[in-house]
Every structure is written in C-alpha cells, then in structure tokens.
Chains A and B, each alone.
Chain A
Amino acid sequence: SAVISQKPSRDICQRGTSLTIQCQVDSQVTMMFWYRQQPGQSLTLIATANQGSEATYESGFVIDKFPISRPNLTFSTLTVSNMSPEDSSIYLCSVEEGGGYTFGSGTRLTVV
C-alpha cells in the first residue's frame, strides 16, 4: 500500500498566522483528501484535491481559510489561514487505494 509522509507532525502557532501542511505519497494518485479531527471528535472531510484542478470543498469549509495546492500526482499542501484557537485539531491527508483509504500520521496543530 501507499506510504504517506506528512509534515510537520505537530506545531504550536500564534493566532492570526498561517501554517502549511505537506503531504508526500510514494506513488502517483489521482485524488488526495484532507481531513480534520477535532479533540474528542471523529474525522471530517475538508476537501478533495485533484491534480491540475481546483480542490473541491465540503460544506462548512472554504478555500480562503483552507487553501490547497496539488502541483503533481504525489504531493499536496493544506494551509490553515488566519488561525484561531478553534482551528486546534489534527489534520490528516489520505489517498484511496482499491476502496480502502491510507492516511498520513497527521499534523497536531495547537493555536495559542
């Protein structure tokens, strides 16, 4: 199965700043998915990133807050912009493989 490298693994950021999370896959994939896991909650899909096109955002998530890049078939970034303490979460990227999904180990973000 695919191996996903996600970084940073954790960060503590000041409110009002932005953080870019990187996700590298060891094989070419058409779609990459970004999720958020808030404390005590389950994973919520933020957006789907296709190479060469705009990302598709789920209800409640907007491009200005969570801009996504997908420059090639093995890499994607998610930026959390103008952060507030409510953005403190674990952010995970994921790829689909034959029905099941493989996840990165996540980025634990704390906004102070």
Chain B
Amino acid sequence: SQKIEQNSEALNIQEGKTATLTCNYTNYSPAYLQWYRQDPGRGPVFLLLIRENEKEKRKERLKVTFDTTLKQSLFHITASQPADSATYLCALSGGGADGLTFGKGTHLIIQP
C-alpha cells in the first residue's frame, strides 16, 4: 500500500536558521508532490506544488526539491521565524483531480 513518511514528528530550529523537512514515499508514482501548512484548529493551507519532472521549486523563503529516484522531497524554510511554527504536511497526487494522500506531518517549532 502507499506510504508517506515525514522525517520526524517534531523539529526544533533556532530563529534565523534554515529548517529542512523530509518526505519519503513508497509504492507510489505521483504526478505531483505538494506541501501544506496546518495551524491548530485550521485546515491545511497550500504552499507549494512540484511536478514529477521538476527538480526544484522556490517561493520566497520556501524551497522544495523532488527526487523521484530516491522517492523523496525536501522542504526548506530559510531565515526561519517564530511565525513559521506550524505543522507541515507532505501530500501526493496522481494528477487530475483525484484527491491527495497525506503524510502525518512534521510539527516545526522555531525558537526565538
């Protein structure tokens, strides 16, 4: 069955440093890999999407890489801030509008 693993349940990072989150998957050939931010009591918020034929995508302080050979994505937040503290979810889709398969998420804490 499809499986998505995110590197750790919680990650503590000092403010100003780069936070790196990992997403590994098995038994899946996704067309898209996506990252979402979820704050307590809220629904996930879309951050970035990367396609299977793309290696890297950037948006402001965010960078996502996608290695379909390793079946892995890395999500980086540079110059991290306490406001970046949240749970970050990795999600896969096969393309079209077929819904998402989510990882359990990594709870990121940026300490001042």
Contacts and interface: CB of A to CB of B under 8 A. Distances in A.
Interface of A: 1, 4, 6, 30-31, 33, 41-45, 48, 58, 92, 94, 96, 99-106, 108
- Chain B's interface size range is 10 to 19
Given A42-B105, A106-B42, A99 B49 contact: yes
Contacts of B46: 1, 100-102
Nearest to B44: A103
Contact of A100 (B42, B49, B102): B49
A8 to B, nearest CB: 14
B12 to A, nearest CB: 19
B102 A48 contact: no
Nearest to A50: B97
Interface string B72-107: 000000000000000001000000011111111100
A4 B32 CA distance: 23
A100 B43 contact: no
B45 interface: yes
Interface string B46-57: 100100000000
Contacts of B101: 45
B5 to A, nearest CB: 11
A43 B100 contact: yes
26 contacts: A1-B46, A6-B43, A30-B97, A31-B97, A33-B99, A42-B89, A42-B102, A42-B104, A43-B44, A43-B100, A43-B102, A45-B99, A45-B100, A45-B101, A48-B98, A92-B44, A99-B32, A99-B49, A100-B46, A101-B44, A102-B46, A103-B43, A103-B44, A104-B43, A105-B42, A106-B42
